[in-house]
């Protein structure tokens, strides 16, 4: 029996394959396609203390090998989320990681406290890297002192282990990773989207109402792999790697770069079966090369 299970901050996942926040709702929308019980974890769309409207449309646009999005973290607020989305997830035997967003440290803390006693929540992923909201959010993710501070304050209050989700829009991902670790983060996840822009030259307008959007999909994979590698060499806490993962080979690439787990994002839109397929393809790889424990592949390329 080959072992695909991994552990992060004491939480055990049946396999290293998660959904990337914001690309999978709370799982409901993809449950026609994927057996959620087969996934390592469902990572939910970012949730704030109060409902957020998000940005005006168009919010998404396609680019070569990927897409730009500027959803702007639309969400129904933590109350509705807890009562509806978490209750939906009660039915499933998979880990649940809740992605948390906010405009101020207090916003984040409110969500973290509200979810503290929710048994269904295994971990919290703190999104300090969304490029699509004007206040807060990414500012925390682009300055190492701000990141240290918010991480520390959330860690003090959080009852579940916390994952800091880092922005790739920085000069040094290692520094950011170190700041998160130093402040007590239990894990880090990366990368969030890279800020991009598309102009419709015929209409002479931005393709997105928000002007800029976050780039995701296969186009960003090499950047993501590099950052996971750099972060893995900078810190000792576990890393959840993502950015353009489409299949098992991509997932293995992230694991070899140093990730403990991986997440599938934009490629769910191309292939709604992607997450489950990644699980299966990781198993095939292990079969083919007789790998008995997925953990033995982590960071083996140095």
Ligand X SMILES: Cc1cc2nc3c(=O)[nH]c(=O)nc-3n(C[C@H](O)[C@H](O)[C@H](O)COP(=O)(O)O)c2cc1C
Distance set, CA 141 to CA 122, 144, 146, 291 (Å): 23, 7, 7, 36
122, 229, 265, 298: residue in contact with a second copy (rule CB under 8 A): 229
CB of 248 to another protein, least distance (A): 15
Give the whole-angstrom CA distance, residue 63 versus residue 73.
Answer: 21
Contact characters 51-80, a second copy, x per CB under 8 A: ------------xxxx-x------------
Question: CA torsion, points 69, 73, 75, 77, in degrees to nearest 10?
Answer: 170
Phi, psi angles (nearest 5°) of residue 270: -80, -40
CB of 101 to another protein, least distance (A): 13
62: which residues sit within 8 A by CB, 6+ positions away? none
Which residues are at the interface with ligand X (CB under 6 A)?
20-23, 45-46, 69, 71, 73, 99, 127, 130, 165, 192-193, 216-217, 220, 242-245, 264-267
CB of 7 to another protein, least distance (A): 28
Contact region for another protein (CB under 8 A) — 29-37, 99-107, 116-124, 129-137? 29-37
Give the whole-angstrom CA distance, residue 83 versus residue 47.
Answer: 13
36, 267, 286, 291: residue in contact with another protein (rule CB under 8 A): 267
CB of 279 to a second copy, least distance (A): 16
Give the whole-angstrom CA distance, residue 40 versus residue 73.
Answer: 24
Residue 34: which H helix or E strand, with range?
none
Give the whole-angstrom CA distance, residue 10 versus residue 12.
Answer: 6
Bridge partners of 3? Answer: 293
Q: Is residue 92 part of the contact set for another protein (CB under 8 A)?
A: no
Q: Is residue 248 part of the contact set for another protein (CB under 8 A)?
A: no
| Burial of 271: CB neighbours in 10 Å, binned 0-12, 13-18, 19+ | middle
Q: Is residue 57 part of the contact set for another protein (CB under 8 A)?
A: yes
**Residues annotated as part of the active site:** 130
| Burial of 15: CB neighbours in 10 Å, binned 0-12, 13-18, 19+ | buried
Q: Where are the beta strands (DSSP E) in 137-209?
A: 162-165, 187-190, 194-197, 199-200, 205-206
> Which parts of 179-208 interact with a second copy (CB under 8 A)?
194-199, 201, 204-206
Which one, 23 or 151, has the nearer CB to ligand X? 23
**Among another protein, a second copy, ligand X, none, partner that 21 touches (CB below 5 to 8 angstroms by kind):** ligand X
Q: Count of residues binding another protein (CB under 8 A)?
A: 40
Which one, 57 or 301, has the nearer CB to another protein? 57
Q: Which residues bind a second copy (CB under 8 A)?
A: 63-66, 68, 142, 169-172, 194-199, 201, 204-206, 211-213, 215, 218-223, 225-226, 229, 244, 249, 252-253, 256-257, 285, 300-301
Q: Which residues bind another protein (CB under 8 A)?
A: 22-25, 29-30, 32-33, 45, 51-54, 57-62, 64-67, 69, 71, 74-77, 80, 217-218, 266-273
């Amino acid at each position: 029996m080959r072992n695909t299970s991994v552990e992060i901050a004491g939480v055990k996942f049946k396999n290293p394959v998660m959904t990337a926040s914001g690309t999978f709702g709370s799982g409901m929308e993809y449950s026609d396609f994927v057996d959620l019980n087969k996934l390592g974890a469902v990572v939910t769309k970012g949730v704030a203390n109060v409902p957020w409207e998000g940005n005006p449309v168009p919010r998404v646009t396609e680019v070569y090998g990927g897409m730009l999005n500027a959803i702007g973290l639309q969400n129904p607020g933590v109350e509705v989320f807890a009562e509806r989305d978490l209750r939906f997830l009660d039915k499933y035997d998979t880990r649940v990681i809740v992605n948390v967003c906010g405009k101020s440290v207090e916003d984040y803390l409110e969500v973290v406290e509200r979810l503290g006693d929710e048994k269904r929540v295994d971990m919290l992923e703190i999104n300090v890297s969304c490029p699509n909201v004007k206040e807060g959010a990414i500012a925390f993710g682009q300055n190492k002192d701000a990141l240290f501070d918010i991480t520390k304050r959330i860690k003090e209050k959080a009852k579940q282990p916390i994952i800091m989700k880092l922005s790739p829009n920085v000069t040094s991902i290692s520094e950011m990773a170190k700041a998160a670790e130093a402040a007590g983060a239990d894990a880090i996840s990366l990368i969030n989207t890279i800020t991009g822009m598309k102009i419709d030259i015929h209409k002479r307008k931005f393709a997105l109402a928000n002007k800029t959007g976050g780039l995701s999909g296969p186009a960003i994979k090499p950047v993501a792999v590099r950052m996971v590698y750099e972060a893995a060499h900078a810190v000792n806490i576990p890393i959840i790697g993502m950015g353009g993962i489409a299949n098992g080979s991509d997932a293995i690439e992230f694991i070899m770069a140093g990730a403990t787990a991986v997440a599938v994002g934009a490629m769910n839109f191309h292939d709604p079966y992607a997450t489950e397929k990644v699980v299966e393809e990781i198993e095939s790889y292990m079969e083919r090369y007789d790998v008995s424990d997925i953990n033995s592949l982590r960071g083996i390329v140095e």
